[in-house]
Structures are given as structure tokens and as C-alpha cells.
Structure 1
Amino acid sequence: MPPQDARRSSAPAREIRGLRPVSVREVGLLARQAGYDAAEPLVAGVSRRDVPPVYACAGSTPAGRPFGERTSVYAASLSKQVIAALVALVMRQGGLAVDEPLSRRLPELPVWAESVRLRHLLHHVGGLPGDDLVDLALTGNRTGPGVLAALRALPEPARPPGTAYGYSNAGYVCLAEAVRRAAGTELPALAEELLFKPLGLADTRLWDGPGAAPPDAEPLSPAPLSLGDGGLWSTPADLLRWADALNDSRLGVSGLMQAPGRLDDGTVLDYAWGMGVRQRHGLTVYRHGGGWPGVRTVLARVPARGLSVLVVALDDETERAASLADSLLDLPLG
């Protein structure tokens, strides 16, 4: 990715809280080293507190438009952070408790839901099945009601709740529905009220139809219409703003969301509320990826340094985005 493909802003060259300056050219070179060529649609961004973000942009969308930081795309599993934030905020208002059983909010589920706590679902230890079992029960586009219908036919969890980590999209669909019922508000409107509008994320929304994608977005074929495991549509610029807001705890719940989960026996997990917990350069990194045919996303943050990095790649079925995100973190920290 040559420097001229970085079509947007570059940050002033000054050091911030132990972070060395980052240039557009360096971000572009790292993208090339990760295996992205100049024609592939990619946005790689680095944001540092109090400095305009740096974006390296390349390629075109399937519709032939330049792919940049203001292009609206499907963010896939990054939506889990949004649902986790809604859980935290509704809980703060007294509408939810993370230790309450799932059956309290979703009484139509089988008896096993009585032993599943909301905190289990937040940390993927609820024992719910992975995608294979649920997908077999779905027809057409993946929807929230479709996922819940599949779970109603589940005789028992894949494993006892609270005993083992097992990534489950279905668990976050349950969380989304629990929040919706507790708040008495549809999730797209609730997210707009509590998250997107207060944080100035004008190009971000939760979408569950009726169309396959929001009118101003780059469509996929087809994107899921379920909320919780997915449903988030945003721009790279808004996603970096979201990460910066979490770094600065502008919602007042980042400390809670960043707390690693535990199994019921006290074993600490490397997954918090909708985000993985890692270590790099002796610092705690919170990260999550998302993937669906036609798009790959990785968002990573280092709150102690006010650092956020983002990779959004279209038409990418590889793991290059994760490798590039690591390199973007190393660039200012090294």
C-alpha cells in the first residue's frame, strides 16, 4: 500500500505518553508487510489520545467506490462490545443483574436456562452451543428470533454453565434479547440513546432489517440480521471513536467491561465483556475481531497509553487483519 493510498489525515509528529509518532507511510508499509497489496480494499487506523487519527486506505468497495474511513460496513462480532455496554448501562439503571438466571428474561427457553447466568453469557461460559448446532436449525437469513427458536429446541447445554470457555454467538443473541426486554425498548433505539448519540457516533447503528443492510452501507451477501452476535454497522472512523471512548471511560462502565471473567471455580479467563484480554509490551490490550464473508475487522486498545488500532478489510478470508493489528500496536509502543 503506497503512501498515496492513505487518503486521509495524518497525525502531528509528536510523542504522547510514551508513544512514538506514527506516520501514514508507516501504517501503509505495515499493511504491505502483512500481505495486503495496493488494490485490496483495506482501512488501517491508529488513534492516540489528543491526536487526530492516522488512516491508511486502499482499494474500492464492491460497488466501485473508494474504501475509506467513512465507508459504512458490517462490523460483525464487534457488536458484542456494544451489547456488553448496554448490559452494563441497563444494569447501572437497575434494570438487570448479571447474576440473574437467563430464564428470568427468556422464560420460553428450556429448563437449562435456569442455571445459566447473564455473566456466563458475557464471558462465553454459558455452555451454549457454537454456531454449527444453531445454524443447522436456521433457514434463510440468520435472525434473532431464528436463533432463539433453535435454542428452544436444545434439550441441554453443550456443557455445564460456568465450567469452561466456549465462544458462543448464540449467547450474545440471548443477552441482546434480555437487554431489550429489561429496557422495554428495541435495541437499535436503545443503542442510539445510550451509546451512539452520546458518543457522537453518527454513522453507527444496530440493524436487524427489514433490508439486508442499512441504506447507506456497503451490502454483503447476505449479512446476518441477528442482534447481539452481529448487527452492528459502522465506519472505521466511528469504530476508532468507540475505542477511544472506551479507553477514556466516557460511558462510565469501562472498568466493569474490562474486568476479566471467571469460571465458577474462580479460574480467571482472558475474556472480559465482549473483548479479549491480552498482554503486549507489558501492557494490557483489549481486543476483538469480527468476520463474515466479505469483511474482516480487528479492534484493539491499550487504555494505559490511550492507544487504539483498527483494521477493516473487505473481500478477505485470511487472518492477515489480526497480524496487521498486532503490528499497528507495536508501531507506537516499540
Structure 2
Amino acid sequence: MATLHHRVAALIEHAGCPVLVGLQHRGTPPIYLTHGSTAAAGPLNPSALAYAASLAKQITAACAALLVRHGRLDMETTLAEWVPELPDWTHAVRLRHLVHHTAGMPPDEQIDAMIPADGDRTTTAVLQALNRLPAPTARPGGQYVYSNAGYVCLAVAVERAAGRRLPAFAQTHMFEPAGMSSSRYWPGPASQPPGARPLPNPHPAPLSLGDGGIWTTATDLMSWNQALDADELGISDLLHTASTLDDGTTLDYAWGLGIRTYARHRIYRHGGGWPGLRAQLIRIPDQRSGLTVIALTNDTDRTASLANALLDMLVQPGTTS
């Protein structure tokens, strides 16, 4: 049987784009393989600082969970209590609605359309856009609708509950304990932190925090997976709790994490994307296995298919390392 290393290499050769894979199998040390390169920055490598896009949501949710555990944040409080400068309709939105994408927020495309084309998409810009939009018609807690703006608002509530800016709070309570020495939330003003790998597309990464805003490496993402599997932060049970609508309907989304069943294994999964970049982060806790994919492409389906093929390989009986 081919080794795990060779099997991963064979899969990523067909990715059709520069791609980096980090993979852990049954608690063994992670392996990292890369394929392809760009003229501007050469091949990807495990320590390359890259934009994490929506993979940041699980870390934002983890910050909220830690504050819940310490009694400093109540997810039943309303958005209006934490961000009173927002419109009156936020009195009906609870923080649990934000973390589970059930808040009935205005659509992201409407919010982004309110931000000047020559301006940065910052947290302040998102809040200002929410103030200029009419009240949404959706009832909070009534349905699941993925919302980047909801996580921007959640991050503001986290900052105010913590009494610290999110980058500093996450550095002390998330990144350092999880061994993520290169990771950071980046609010600007530059479009990316020093030493980061530039996105291969002329669209700079947004500067809003919570929905995204994290720059990280493949090695750090695998450390994050390991920290959650080992419950090093003491919040994994809460992060893995499935959300429910207000009518009791259970959803397949936890705290910034999708919940799936794959080949009879419970897995936790989330993707992220921005022009020129697609990412996946997956864990299989009962096998102490997981993977990350960072691909320099706009093809979400291709990146998800690669992640699925790697996942198939991990759960196959007899896979060797």
C-alpha cells in the first residue's frame, strides 16, 4: 500500500492550482505537501502567512465561548445591549443568533453595496452600513442564513465584554495557548500584515474582524485542530454544540463550525474564500485526524473536492502513514 505521503502527493498533483495541504492521521505528527507555485511568490509552504477568510469564524466563536465560560458574556443578551449604536431592530437579535447565523441580518451583498468602492471593508464600515439599511424582514431565530456581518457584530460584542481589542484578546487567550505562533487578527491599515503572502488577485483582503481578519499558516491551523481535539482551551464541548432555531429545529452548524457525518464519523468542517484563495479546515475527533487545504484559486468546488478526497483517504481502514 502506498504511504500516506505518496497518496496525498498524488491527489494534490491534480488540483490544477497552487495548493498546500496539511494532514494529520490518528494523532501522528502532521505532514505538509505543496504543489504548484506563482510567479510572484513561488511555492506555498507550511509557514507562509496567508489569509484565512471565514476559517476565522470558529476562532471568533471560540473567543465568545471563553467569555461565556468565565461568566463575562451571556449569549441570551441582545446585540443592542452590546452595540447600542446600531438600529432599534437589534433589540430582537440575541448573541446566540449571531454565532449560529440565525439572526436575520440584512444580506451581506446589501451591506457591501453600502461601503464605498474606494473604501476598505472595515468593522466600522460594516456597522455604518447596518445603520443606513432598513430593518430586515426576517425574524431572528427563524431560519439559518449565513451572515458575515453577524460575525462582525459578534466580534464587537466580544471586544466590549472582554474590555480588550479582539487582536490582543485572541493573541493571549487563543493563539498563544494553541501554539499558533504566527497567527493574528489584522485590522489594517495596510491590506495585510508584514511578511504575509500576497493574495494572487488584485482584490485586497477585507479589514473587518470576526467574519474574517485572521492571517495564519498551515502549521498553525493544524495546531488549532489539535488544541480543539484535546480541549486545551476548555471550550470544545460548547463549540461543538449544535444550534437550534427558536422553534426547536436542530441545525448542522455549531459555533463557527459545520457539523457533518462522514463515513459514520462525526466531523467538524468550515471553508473560507476570497478572490484568489480558497481554504478548508476539517477535524475527525474520534480518529484524532484532520486536514487543512489552502489553494490559490477561485474554484470552490475543486478545493472542496480535494478536501473530500483527502477525507476519504483518512477514514479508509488500513491507511498508513
TM-score band w.r.t. shorter chain: over 0.9
Deviation at 1:332, TM superposition (A): 2.1
Moved beyond 6 Å, runs of 4+ = none
- Counterpart residue identity of residue 4, structure 2: S
Q: Do residues 222 (structure 1) and 199 (structure 2) align?
A: no
Answer yes or no: is the 8 Å Cα contact 2:18–2:38 preserved in 1. Answer: yes
Q: Do residues 295 (structure 1) and 277 (structure 2) align?
A: yes
TM-score (norm 1): 0.90
Match of 1:24 in 2: 5
Q: Residues 202-217 of structure 1 correspond to what in structure 2 (within 5 A)?
A: 202-217=181-196
* Aligned partner of 1:193 among 172, 183, 206: 172
SS of the equivalent of 1:287 reads strand
Change (3 A) 1:173 1:25: same
Q: Residues 309-320 of structure 1 correspond to what in structure 2 (within 5 A)?
A: 309-320=291-302
Match of 1:122 in 2: 99
Q: Do residues 321 (structure 1) and 303 (structure 2) align?
A: yes
- Counterpart residue identity of residue 258, structure 1: H
- Counterpart residue identity of residue 36, structure 1: A
RMSD value, Cα: 1.5
Q: What is the distance in 2 between the residues matched to 1:62 and 1:174?
A: 38
Deviation at 1:22, TM superposition (A): 5.4
Worse-superposed segment, 215-224 or 43-52: 43-52
Answer yes or no: is the 8 Å Cα contact 2:12–2:34 preserved in 1. Answer: no
Answer yes or no: is the 8 Å Cα contact 1:110–1:154 preserved in 2. Answer: no
- Counterpart residue identity of residue 128, structure 1: M
Worse-superposed segment, 314-323 or 154-163: 314-323
Deviation at 1:53, TM superposition (A): 0.9
Match of 1:153 in 2: 132
Q: How many residues align?
A: 311
- Counterpart residue identity of residue 29, structure 1: A
Instruction: Give the fraction of aligned pairs with identical amino acids, expressed as a percent.
Output: 48
Worse-superposed segment, 320-329 or 310-319: 310-319
Q: What is the distance in 2 between the residues matched to 1:318 and 1:79?
A: 17
Q: Do residues 101 (structure 1) and 78 (structure 2) align?
A: yes
Match of 1:275 in 2: 257
SS of the equivalent of 1:52 reads coil
Answer yes or no: is the 8 Å Cα contact 1:22–1:331 preserved in 2. Answer: no
Deviation at 1:198, TM superposition (A): 1.1
Worse-superposed segment, 72-81 or 216-225: 216-225
Q: What is the distance in 2 between the residues matched to 1:219 and 1:112?
A: 39
Change (3 A) 1:229 1:62: farther
Q: What is the distance in 2 between the residues matched to 1:141 and 1:288?
A: 25
- Structure 2 unaligned blocks of 5 or more: 317-321
TM-score (norm 2): 0.93
- Structure 1 unaligned blocks of 5 or more: 1-12, 14-20
Q: Do residues 173 (structure 1) and 155 (structure 2) align?
A: no
Match of 1:46 in 2: 23
- What's the CA shift string for 1:17-76, capped at 9, x where partnerless? xxxx952210122224xx414xx3111121135311122212224533321111110000
Answer yes or no: is the 8 Å Cα contact 1:212–1:219 preserved in 2. Answer: no
Deviation at 1:154, TM superposition (A): 2.6
Q: What is the distance in 1 between the residues matched to 2:155 and 2:21?
A: 29
